[in-house]
Amino acid sequence: MEATKLAKKGFFSSDPSAFFIIHRAGENGVFSPIYQSPVIRSKSNPIWSEFSIKEIQLCNGDQHRQLKIEIKKFKSNGQHVTIGWTPIFTVADLQSTRMPRTFPISGMPAGTEFLIRRMIVTETPSFLDYLAGGVPLNLVVAIDFTQSNGDPRHTNSLHYKSPSGDNDYTRAIRSVGNILECYDTDKKFPVYGFGAKVNGTVSHCFALNGNPQFPE
């Protein structure tokens, strides 16, 4: 992002240092700041480095959510002065137009502009995307044996073995494992424990079957 000809405004003549703030409209239409740029000092045509921001922060996942940018003159005493604003726009607007996108800055002489040179929207791959891409997956189970689980002889312990033979851990492993085993490449499921004494020593990673070479 960059701005041009900021020094054309009279109060900028001494020190044209500036930053910008992106504001997002809420459900009630009131705009709130959601991102503040670094200060670019002593430049009448400041250029800001590229930055990344999550879509949920920028537009709350709504690409038609209204945005606007406030350009401010930096002052060392903290009393920063608003230079002007861009018109309202949306992420959808930026995606549908060629870059760079130029906005006039309100309250500034003609030719003073704010430019968005590039915008790239990237998506975090989903679980199915990884599968479709051929990523090999392996299911590994870890069971907590620390004292926070409670005495296994008591019914309120996560390790309590009920008359049915189940407890919270076995039910959780079965319900999740029955789904994930379909995606496991070798159909072998290592099971580890942590937070228990093994041969008299507290261990934070041990094979539950006692065989670290083949913990399945």
Q: Which domains does the chain have, with CATH numbers?
A: 2-116 (2.60.40.150), 127-207 (no CATH)
Does residue 10 have a pLDDT over 70?
no
What average pLDDT does this structure show over 204-215?
Answer: 91
- Residue 133's CB: how many other CB atoms inside 10 A? 8
Looking at residue 9, its pLDDT comes to: 54
The pTM (predicted TM-score) of the whole model is: 0.64
- Residue 193's CB: how many other CB atoms inside 10 A? 19
Does residue 137 have a pLDDT over 80?
yes
CB crowding 89-124: b at 16 or more within 10 Å, else e = bbbeebeeeeeebebbbeebeeebbbbbeeeeeeee
Distance CA(62)–CA(58), nearest Å, equals 9
